[in-house]
Amino acid sequence: MKRATPQPVDDEATTPFIPRNDSVTNLDAQPRGPIRWGALNQSQTALEERLRTVCLAICAGGVVSWGLAKLKFALVPLVLSLALRYLLQPMIDALTRTAARRRWRRDEPSKLDEALAKRCGKLGKACVLMKRKCTRLALPYSMAVLVSLALALGLLIFVAMLIAESVRDFTGRADAYAEQVQNALVIIVRWMDAYGISHKWRRTSSLTHLAEKLQLSAWVTATVFSIGEGLLSLLSTTFLVILFTLYLLLTPSLTNEEEEEGDDTPKASVFQRKVDRQIHTYVKGKVALSALVAILTAGLLYALRVDLWLAFSVVAFFANFVPNLGAIVAVALPMPVVLIDPDGSPFHSGMAFFSLVLMHALVGNVVEPVFFGHSMRLHPVVVLLSLMIWGFIWGVPGCVLAVPITAVLRIYLQSIDHPLALALANVLDGFARPVSAFLPPPSERPSTAYAAV
């Protein structure tokens, strides 16, 4: 009789069936197995893409900031050369007469020329002929670039020589300034002693000993030399700035060629030309206002016989690029020299302070709105953040260039036909306006490919 062979036991067959209860929140009661996620709906997919974009933008911002900090020695002169290019381009156009050729069409007589020739007879014809000959007289473009750069370099060298002379005169009077500081310390401590604020410094001899220990003359001299070294380090980048500017100016300008060709240029090029014109207007206006502030500061301080008047005017020129804070620095920096001036007086100090405050108030609140209106206005919080960020990346040059870079960035963001770029431009502006307010007319908008760049 054959014995029956045992059959293998199927565990799945013997395991009782447990129905899945979706209402049960305890995960231990559910059967074990891999978790399968369901497909995201449309809104969840859009949110995921936006979060991914934000994270990538943060990572890219960190990498770009690190690169900007490491390449400071080359990027700061490059930014300065871009600004110098915008400033020198009108001079080059005047030397090459490109603007005059486009305006007068030197081969086609204008209505003004015909009217002048009819009314003035031979004299009018002679004037028209002289105008055409002067229009034809023009330097080659490369020669005009070299002449413009030579004039700019000569101006910088002249200002540097004047600053060096002013610093040398100031250091020659360092002992007199040190004596004034000692006398000021004696007066302050005596006043504190009279009102019972200080009980340790009752003797004048101890005050003199304290002033001698401070070595004020050496401190004044060291401070002056540190300021001079800072100015010289700023001027030491002149070679790179001139070199970058030379290559930028020698590059053929596509904008002028497109203007001469006519209206057949693509919309992207037309819109880019308008953006470039806005940047050109901003740079020229801001530099002109800063030059006005520097000239007025130099005139006021020179009239009041303040030493280092030219150095303080140069500081005022660069400080004017920083709204609000720059005016405070430009007013506060000369005041210690004014207060310790051996030939000064309280009336002299008050005149210097109030004249500088009045001048900066008029330029900042009256003249600048006339130049720019509200088109280049930035929110004060944006100004402070840009100062901190660019100051952390590039130091003192970053603080000077922070607001111009942010203003140019806002111009470019307004030119991009994308909701995110326009929203960022609205944030930099600081005034709640609809995105459609930044959009140009549909006929002037660039193509989609250009807007995405």
Residues 122-167: pLDDT tens digits?
666 666 666 666 555 577 888 888 888 899 888 888 887 887 787 7
Q: Taking phi first (over 0 means left), then psi (-120 to 50 degrees means alpha), and beta for anything else, what does residue 5 get?
A: beta
Decide if 277 contacts 253 (C-beta within 8 A).
no
If one compares 45 and 120, the residue with the highest pLDDT of the two is: 45
Sign of the four-CA dihedral 284, 289, 294, 295? positive
> Band of the pLDDT at 254, cuts 50, 70, 90?
very low
pLDDT of residue 106: 45
Q: Does the structure show a pLDDT above 80 at 196?
A: no
CA distances from 198 to 139, 175, 186, 193, 201 (A): 73, 28, 13, 5, 7
- Residue 12, both tokens: 């799945």
Region 383-404 average pLDDT:
86
Dist. CA 85–CA 100, nearest whole Å:
20
Mean of pLDDT over the chain: 73
> Band of the pLDDT at 215, cuts 50, 70, 90?
low
> Band of the pLDDT at 237, cuts 50, 70, 90?
confident
Which residues are CB-neighbours of 340 under 8 A, at least 6 positions away? Answer: 177, 180, 181, 184
Q: Which of 90-94, 253-257, 311-315, 412-416 has the lowest mean pLDDT?
A: 253-257
Decide if 273 contacts 257 (C-beta within 8 A).
no
Dist. CA 179–CA 298, nearest whole Å:
26
pLDDT of residue 453: 37
pLDDT of residue 444: 52
If one compares 137 and 285, the residue with the highest pLDDT of the two is: 285
pLDDT of residue 17: 46
Decide if 367 contacts 316 (C-beta within 8 A).
no
Residue-level length of the chain = 453
Region 97-117 average pLDDT:
53
Question: How many of the other CB atoms lie within 10 Å of CB of 63?
Answer: 10
Decide if 304 contacts 383 (C-beta within 8 A).
no
If one compares 406 and 236, the residue with the highest pLDDT of the two is: 406
Q: What percent of the chain has pLDDT over 70?
A: 62
pLDDT of residue 250: 84
Sign of the four-CA dihedral 174, 180, 184, 190? positive
If one compares 255 and 383, the residue with the highest pLDDT of the two is: 383
Q: What percent of the chain has pLDDT over 90?
A: 3
pLDDT of residue 442: 56
**Side chain identity at residue 448, one-letter code:** T
Region 16-43 average pLDDT:
56
Q: In the 8-state DSSP scheme, what is residue 430?
A: T
> Band of the pLDDT at 306, cuts 50, 70, 90?
confident
Q: Does the structure show a pLDDT above 70 at 40?
A: yes
Model confidence over 345-387: pLDDT tens digits?
A: 788 888 888 999 999 888 888 888 777 665 566 777 888 888 8
SS3 for 368?
helix
pLDDT of residue 24: 46
pLDDT of residue 274: 74
Rg of the Cα atoms in the chain: 35
CA distances from 110 to 92, 104, 113, 127 (A): 25, 7, 5, 13
Which residues are CB-neighbours of 324 under 8 A, at least 6 positions away? Answer: 364, 380, 383
> Band of the pLDDT at 297, cuts 50, 70, 90?
very high
Q: Which of 61-75, 205-219, 227-241 has the lowest mean pLDDT?
A: 205-219
